[in-house]
Structure 1
Amino acid sequence: MKNVLLVTFGLISALSFGQNIDPTSQSEQLVLDNDEMSVVEFVAEPQGQVCGKDMHHHKPHLTILLSDAKVVITTPEGKSQEVEAPYGTALWSEEETHAVINKGNMPTRMILVFPKN
């Protein structure tokens, strides 16, 4: 229960205090890092990179959208797919490599939770 309270406080802290956001790309803030998990908040401006720079790799993780999202996901093979998901969507992703661009007209905000087990 203690970890849940820490994550909740970290999310509230990250969302309550403003961040300097480069209008052409993204910001990234480590919300929590302990022996159990790493939690990172990403904010991507329109046409900005969403959850990492260029083609990048993620270990398995939980994504929680803090805004509506309209993104284009590109695989290392060059295949692209446009995806739309509403605020509050939570989804599990296995290990993957991709590039993601915000194609919406508003910032895309999300939390990624990376288990450490």
Structure 2
Amino acid sequence: MKYLLVTSMLFVSAVTFGQNTVTAGPGEKVIIDNDKMKVIEHTSQPEGDVCGVGMHHHEPHLTTVLTDAKVRITPENGEPQEMEVKSGTSIWFDVAETHSVTNIGDQPTKMILVYLKE
């Protein structure tokens, strides 16, 4: 419940203060980018990239899944894993990582990634 509340507050903040959005890459929209945080919305189609193009890198961040998603995650130096994630799930990634993530479901996916700036 705590994560849902934080996510809701971030979404409201994005809608309220992120009026000037820009497109950053395929399926990617920057909602907020200021001295405190960067908030990115990712949308993917079936068989498309989910949270970045191909093998890509993330710094520590919060991911909130806005749609049910079935994905294949391939770590930089590891075996691919398939998983299903329910809409409303929030996950904090405490370390930087490099991976590729593919939408292996039959529906588009949408998620919000929040990067804190220090």
Question: TM range, normalised to the smaller chain?
Answer: 0.7 to 0.9
The 3 A distance-change label for structure 1 pair 88 and 105 is same
Equivalent residue runs for 1:67-106 within 5 Å: 67-93=67-93, 94-106=95-107
Kept in 2, the 8 Å contact 1:7–1:32? The answer is no
Secondary structure of the equivalent of 1:39?
strand
Equivalent residue runs for 1:35-46 within 5 Å: 35-46=35-46
Runs of 4 or more above 2 Å deviation: 4-7, 9-14
Q: Which residue of 2 aligns with 1:31?
A: 31
Kept in 2, the 8 Å contact 1:44–1:107? The answer is yes
The 3 A distance-change label for structure 1 pair 8 and 39 is same
Cα separation, 1, equivalents of 2:86 and 2:72? 15
Q: Which residue of 2 aligns with 1:115?
A: 116
The 3 A distance-change label for structure 1 pair 49 and 6 is closer
Structure 2 residues without counterparts, runs of 5 or longer: 1-7, 19-25
The 3 A distance-change label for structure 1 pair 74 and 37 is same
Cα separation, 1, equivalents of 2:101 and 2:50? 5
Identity %: 47
Cα separation, 2, equivalents of 1:89 and 1:5? 15
Shift of residue 7, structure 1, vs aligned partner:
4.9
How many matched pairs? 103
Cα separation, 2, equivalents of 1:72 and 1:107? 14
Normalising by the residue count of structure 1, what TM-score does the alignment of the two structures yield?
0.80
Q: Which residue of 2 aligns with 1:62?
A: 62
Shift of residue 97, structure 1, vs aligned partner:
0.3
Shift of residue 73, structure 1, vs aligned partner:
0.2
Kept in 2, the 8 Å contact 1:40–1:113? The answer is yes
For the aligned residues, what is the CA RMSD?
Answer: 2.2
Q: Which residue of 1 aligns with 2:14?
A: 10
Structure 1 residues without counterparts, runs of 5 or longer: 15-25
